[in-house]
Every structure is written in structure tokens, then in C-alpha cells.
Chain A
Amino acid sequence: MELSKDITLGQYVPRNSVIHKLDPRVKIILWMVLVTALFFIRTYTGYLVFFLFLMGVIHLAQIPILYALRGLRPALPFIVALFIIQLMFSGSLYADSTNVLFQWSFIRITTEAVRTYSLTICRVVLLFFSVTLLTLATSLVGLTDGMESLMSVGRPIGVPANELAMVMVIALRFVPTLVEELERIMKAQMARGAEVETGNFIQRTKQRIPILIPLLMNTFQRAEELIIAMEARCYRGGKGRTKRKTLRLGSLDYQAIAVTVLFLAVLFSLSKYVIPPSW
């Protein structure tokens, strides 16, 4: 068994691509704009176009598309479960709107509900891809610098930019480490005869205990070690700290902004014709 194979969140694939070279601030802002746009798309075509755009960016970043897709695998059961539950129990909300596909006691599935929740799932999946894409093609240092620089706008009103950026980056950085740790503990317990992922819900929950407790304890210990390491290096937040590399916008960044704006314009002009009258 090898868990780390399927976790793409928080991983960074070092390449020398145009996407990697972009200013991290530009990447973060464009990413936020794209994610916001995602919430305004209301058609399958819109999502398809958006998906193709993301794939294009992944290709430009020289990241194998299959690898980027792979990260979705562990999340898939949750997404499917979410979809089914939504579908079954919220049909009544659309009682008046359209034809009922299936009805049994309180469960009622309507075409409208199918449509709404399919689109929601598209949104969740694409949201996930966008996050993965950002971390796969931006180094940790870049991500910190970018976030810090963007957040320092709020410094006059007391936003602790450096500290917040540090918190976010540590959280992201430790995803792969914790996955590795989780895998090790799972294997150690399996070697002792423990079963994972068998039996009913209660049995499964019980099986988690021998894995979660050591994971939690080790994580606390790691956190403590990290604190000591930071203090030993005299970390005191961003106060008085200078940068070796100052961020500066280049022509590549302006091109990226232009391309994204163009893409969004096309996307929304396109969907204007696709949005059904009911919307």
C-alpha cells in the first residue's frame, strides 16, 4: 500500500515552466479571480470550457495531467456520497418547478435537483483542481512571499501578514509529511494484525483509533519540534526582515493577466447564450 501516490494537495512539482516562473502574487490573484468566476458559471458547457482551460495551464506547467487528476481519487467517495445525499433529500425544494423522476415516501428526485447538484459537483471538482494547480506549480517559498506581500496591504489596520502567511504555508507543507506518517502508522498496525477498511461503519471507526491516536501524538510532537527550531533561528515574525529576492512583475505576468481576462470574457459571453431562461 502506498498512500502518498494519491495525494497531490500540497505537493510541489519543480519544473522550469512559464507557469512556475510567474510572480506568485499574480498567480494567487488570478487563482482567486478564477475561483470566484467558478461560482458564476451555471452551465455544463461553461464548466467544460473552464476544465479545458485548467488542463491547458497544467500542460503549460509541464505537470503530467494524469498526476493532477489523480489527486481527486481519495476525494471521490465523499463527492459521490455528497451528491447522492443532496439528490435524495432536497427534491422537495424543487417541488413546484419540474417533473419528478422518482418518488418514494419522502425521497423525491426531480430533474431540477439533478441539474443543480451535478453542477455543484462540477464546481467542487474544479475548485479542487484549481487549488492543486496552484500548489503543484508554486514553490513553498514563492507561496509564502506572495501571500505575505498581498496581505501586507492590510498591515496598517493590524493584519499580521507574515504570521498568517507562515501559518498557511506550514499547514500546506505538512500535508505530505502527515500522509507519510499516516502510512507508516497504518502499516505498523497492519503488521500487528490490525485491519483497515473492513467491516461495518462502527468497526471501521474503531479501526481508526490505533491509527489516529499515534498520528495525533506525533503531530503534536512535530509541532513542538518546529517551534523550537524556529525559535533557535530567532524567528520573530516579519518585523525588520528583508528579502533576498524581491518580487517584481515582468512581461510574463502581464501576459498571464491578459490571457486570463480574455478567457473569462469568452467564458461569460459564451455562457450568456447557454444559460437557460429559468436562470
Chain B
Amino acid sequence: MIIQIENLHHTYMEGTPFETKVLHGVNLEVKEGELVAIVGPTRSGKSTLVQYMNALFLPKTGRVVVDGHDTSKKTVDVRKVRQTVGLVFQYPEHQLFQETVGKDVAFGPKVCGIPQEEIDGRVLAALDAVGLDPKVFKNRYIFALSGGQKRRAAIAGVLALQPKVMIFDDPTAGLDPKGREEILGTIRRVHEKQGLTVVLVSNNLEDVARMARRVVVLSEGKVVLEGSPHEVFSQVGVMRQIGLGLLQTVEIMSKLRERGFDLPLDALDVDETARRIFQYKQALKGGSSGGAI
């Protein structure tokens, strides 16, 4: 267990007229080497929750243990925790501040006191991992990059710290389909090739269905569902009720079910859906008359 969260509560703007409760007793575990997705409607507390995972917030009630460091203790070394868990914020390109890509990626390792020779190697590896050719991009000006490239450069800036866990908070927000594919490809690569544990926070159920092995659904500061994508996304009632909606393929299946066709709800992609419908049709033919699909 690399991250363990027990009974976590959080109140935003505590002690002001704008006080709002964001987390109500969250329990969550992240296992080493897994790719887990956290989904939930806006204002469900996702972004707050992930900030506890790298000690940007320290728990007042409840407990957060990251790789053996208990962040609820006063003695915790927050820099160690932040080096273990890399957090990529929403719109990470807003954090870029150096003139060239290489310098910006080197910023993290530099302030963490890594020797210069090692930094160079880390910068190259990080740029490579996000799919920006170091030869081309290392000395390029930040202003000369496209939106998607800026975002990947920012991700490289976090990867260069060589954390054990990477958290991506809504990494595909505001990108075009091509940029989105590139970011998701990057995430998959760091997970599979470098063996990093990945926590993916997203509102895009299609992305989550493709990427994650385990899904945690958050609603109004509580974990309401947890399990494999098949188990979670087939819970049509809950998903609709919390306002998250359904996966497009599940939506089709559930509409067909409403019309009396006995189809399963756990098809996650188009191919699987088509196959299930085809099988169902075959079975109907094999029986007797049956309805037309």
C-alpha cells in the first residue's frame, strides 16, 4: 500500500462565511504499481483529495500515510512526500516559468538538490518519456510551444523528480482529440514502461474506461463506488443519480434494456458493445422470432 487514506475530512475556507465541507470521511487505498482512476462530478472533492496525497494539505482529522510517511504527524518531512508523489495539476502549463523547456524541467530536481550531472540525464529521460524529442525541444522557448506540448513539458517537469507515484488531475482538460491521445499515451507509457503507480483524476469516463484497472467514484466528499471499470460503470442508477452520467456504450445498452432487450450493461468500448449486440441477435435468431434490432 503506497498511499493509505483513513477517515479524511476537509473544510474549505474554515472559519469564514464561505465555509464549505468538501470531504466527509474518505477512505481510500492506492496499491503500489496500479493505475487507479478517481472520478466524480465537479465539486465532489477530487482535487482536494489528491492534494492530501502529496502533503500540500495536511490532515486535521483522519490520517494519510504516503509510502510510510504519516502526514498527520507534526514531524513529517513534506519534501520527502512530495518527491515520492508527483502531482500534475489541472492546466499544468500555467506553472511554466523558465525561458526554455530544458531549464523548466530541470527546476524541480535543482531545488531538490540533485547534482548537475544527474539533472541533465533526468531532463533527457523526462522529455523522452512525455514524447518530446530532447534534441529538438530541450533548448526551445516555452512560448514557441503549442498548448499540448506545453502541457507535456509541464508533466516532464514533475517526472524529472522521479517520483514513485504520479497523480494527474484532469490531464486532458481543454485539449483537442490529438493532444488528448498524446497525454493519455504518455500516462500509459510512464505506467507500463517505468512501472510508476498512477492516480488519474478525470471527468471523462471514456478515458477512464480505457486506462484504469480500478475506479473510485467520489460524490459530495464521499467514496460511493469502487471496483473494476466493469463493476463501476454498470451501476447505472448510482452513476446517473450523482450526476456523472454514463459511459456512451453503457448508455446505449441501458436504453436498449429499457426497450425490453436483455443486454448486459458492462460493455466498455465500441467493439465489445457491437459484439454483445451481435451475440444477442444471434441468440434471438437461434430461438424463435424475437424483436428486430
Contact = CB atoms under 8 A, between A and B. Distances in A.
B203 interface: no
Nearest to A185: B95
Interface hub of B15, B94, B107, B161 (most chain A Cβ within 10 A): B94
A67 interface: yes
A115 interface: no
B157 A192 contact: yes
Interface string A230-250: 000000000000000000000
Nearest to A206: B111
Contacts, number: 73
Contact of A192 (B14, B15, B94, B161): B161
A67 B92 contact: no
B17 A214 contact: no
A244 to B, nearest CB: 27
Contact of A70 (B16, B51, B83, B161): B16
B89 interface: yes
A192 B158 contact: yes
B108 to A, nearest CB: 4
B141 interface: no
A210 B82 contact: no
Nearest to B58: A1
Contact of B111 (A66, A67, A194, A217): A194
A191 B54 contact: yes
Nearest to A13: B17
A67 B161 contact: no
Interface string B65-100: 000000000000001001100110100101111000
Contacts of A195: 79, 111
For chain A, the bracket of interface size reads 20 to 34
B112 interface: yes
A5 B86 CA distance: 26
Given A184-B89, A214-B94, A192 B108 contact: yes
B56 interface: yes
Contacts of A64: 16-17
Contacts of B161: 192-193
Contact of B158 (A5, A184, A191, A210): A191
Given A13-B17, A67-B16, A193 B96 contact: no
Interface string B25-47: 00000000000000000000000
Given A187-B89, A195-B111, A5 B95 contact: no
Contacts of A184: 89, 94
Contacts of B87: 191
Nearest to B95: A188
A4 interface: yes
A96 interface: no
B12 interface: yes
B13 interface: yes
Contacts of B54: 191
Contacts of B13: 2, 4-5
A180 to B, nearest CB: 11
Interface residues of B, number: 30
Contact of B51 (A185, A187, A193, A210): A187
A187 B54 CA distance: 10
A214 B99 CA distance: 11
Interface in A35-81: 63-64, 66-67, 70
A194 B87 CA distance: 13
B57 interface: yes
Contacts of B56: 1, 187, 190-191
Contacts of B157: 192
A213 B12 CA distance: 27
A1 B55 CA distance: 10
A188 B17 contact: no
Contact of A210 (B14, B86, B89, B97): B97
Interface string B9-21: 0001111111000
Nearest to B91: A184
A218 interface: yes
Contact of B15 (A13, A66, A214): A66
Given A188-B89, A188-B95, A214-B95, A193 B83 contact: yes
A77 to B, nearest CB: 20
A171 interface: no
Contact of B82 (A63, A67, A193, A209): A193
Nearest to A195: B111
A99 interface: no
Given A5-B15, A66-B15, A191-B87, A213 B97 contact: yes
Given A187-B51, A188-B94, A218-B94, A70 B107 contact: no
Interface of A: 1-2, 4-5, 13, 63-64, 66-67, 70, 184-185, 187-195, 209-210, 213-214, 217-218
Top 4 closest A-B pairs, CB basis? A192-B108, A188-B95, A213-B97, A193-B112
Given A1-B57, A193-B108, A209-B97, 10 more contacts: A5-B13, A187-B51, A190-B82, A191-B86, A191-B158, A192-B82, A193-B112, A194-B108, A214-B95, A214-B96
